[in-house]
C-alpha cells in the first residue's frame, strides 16, 4: 500500500513546481487576460474602419488605444468602431492595447498595402481556391497550455505504470 503514494510523489512535486512558473510567465507576456478582446478586421486599409470589442471585463468600461486611431472607450461589453488614420503606413503592423481596470491585452492590427487605385467588384478573377486560413489549428499554445498538456501526459504515463505494476503483482 505504501508504493502507491510514493509513485506519485515525483509527479505531484513537478506539478507543484511548474504551475506557478507557467502562471508567472503568462502574466509577463501580456498574452493571457481575464477578459476577451478583438479587432475586426485584423487587416485594414489606411483610412478604413475597425470594430473593437472587449467582453468579460469586471469594470464597466474598457479603453482601447493605438498609434493609428484615436483612443476609444467601450461600455458594458458593447463593440465600438475606430477610424484608422489615412497616413498609416501600408504594410506595417500596429499594436492595439485594451485596458480593463489596469490589466492590459494586446492585439495586432495590420495596415493593408493598397494598390492606389479604386477597387471595382467583379474585375479581378481569383487565381485558385479560397484562402480561408488555418482555422486556429496552428497558433502558439503559450506556456500555460504547454505546461498543462505536459502535466496531463505525465499523469497518463504515471497512471499507466501504476496499472501495469498492479496488474503484474509487483506493486502489492
Q: Is residue 57 domain-shared with residue 43, that is, in the same domain?
A: yes
pLDDT in the model for residue 43: 93
Please check whether residue 46 lies inside any domain of the structure: yes
Please check whether residue 103 lies inside any domain of the structure: yes
- DSSP assigned state of 172: -
Q: Is residue 69 domain-shared with residue 108, that is, in the same domain?
A: yes
Enclosing domain of residue 8: 1-31+141-172
Helices (H) and strands (E) in the chain, counts: 2, 8
Please check whether residue 124 lies inside any domain of the structure: no
Please state the φ and ψ torsions of residue 74, each to the nearest 5 degrees.
Answer: -110, 150
Helical spans, DSSP H, in the chain? 3-29, 142-168
Structural domain ending residue among the three candidates 96, 112, 128: 112
Q: Is residue 104 domain-shared with residue 164, that is, in the same domain?
A: no
Structural domain ending residue among the three candidates 91, 112, 133: 112
Give per-residue pLDDT as tens, 55-103: 888 888 899 999 999 999 988 888 999 999 999 999 999 999 999 989 9
Q: Is residue 26 domain-shared with residue 53, that is, in the same domain?
A: no
Q: Is residue 19 domain-shared with residue 78, that is, in the same domain?
A: no
Please check whether residue 59 lies inside any domain of the structure: yes
Q: Is residue 68 domain-shared with residue 106, that is, in the same domain?
A: yes
C-alpha 55/C-alpha 37 separation (Å) is 6
What is the number of residues in the chain?
A: 172
Q: Is residue 53 domain-shared with residue 96, that is, in the same domain?
A: yes
Q: Which CATH number do you get for residue 65?
A: 2.60.40.10
Which span out of 7-21, 22-36, 142-156 was modeled with the highest average pLDDT? 142-156
pLDDT in the model for residue 24: 43
Please check whether residue 132 lies inside any domain of the structure: no
Give per-residue pLDDT as tens, 8-28: 555 555 555 455 544 444 444
Q: Is residue 102 domain-shared with residue 147, that is, in the same domain?
A: no
Structural domain ending residue among the three candidates 92, 112, 132: 112
pTM, two decimal places = 0.50
Q: Is residue 41 domain-shared with residue 79, that is, in the same domain?
A: yes
C-alpha 44/C-alpha 52 separation (Å) is 13
Q: Which helix (H) or strand (E) holds 109?
A: strand 103-111
Please count the structural domains in the chain: 2
Q: pLDDT band for 149, please (50, 70, 90 cuts).
A: confident
What average pLDDT does the chain have?
A: 75
3 state SS for 48-60 = CEEEEEEECCCCC
Amino acid at each position: 500500500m505504501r508504493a502507491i503514494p510514493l509513485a506519485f510523489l515525483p509527479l505531484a512535486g513537478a506539478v507543484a513546481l511548474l504551475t506557478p512558473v507557467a502562471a508567472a510567465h503568462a502574466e509577463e507576456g501580456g498574452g493571457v487576460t481575464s477578459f476577451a478582446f478583438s479587432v475586426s478586421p485584423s487587416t485594414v486599409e489606411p483610412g478604413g474602419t475597425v470594430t473593437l470589442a472587449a467582453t468579460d471585463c469586471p469594470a464597466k468600461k474598457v479603453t482601447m488605444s493605438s498609434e493609428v486611431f484615436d483612443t476609444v472607450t467601450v461600455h458594458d461589453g458593447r463593440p465600438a468602431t475606430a477610424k484608422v488614420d489615412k497616413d498609416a503606413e501600408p504594410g506595417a503592423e500596429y499594436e492595439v492595447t485594451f485596458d480593463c481596470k489596469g490589466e492590459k491585452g494586446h492585439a495586432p492590427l495590420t495596415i493593408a498595402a493598397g494598390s492606389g487605385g479604386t477597387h471595382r467588384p467583379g474585375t479581378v478573377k481569383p487565381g485558385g481556391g479560397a484562402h480561408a486560413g488555418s482555422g486556429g489549428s496552428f497558433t502558439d499554445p503559450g506556456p500555460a497550455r504547454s505546461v498543462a498538456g505536459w502535466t496531463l501526459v505525465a499523469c497518463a504515463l504515471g497512471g499507466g505504470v501504476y496499472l501495469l505494476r498492479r496488474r503484474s503483482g509487483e506493486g502489492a
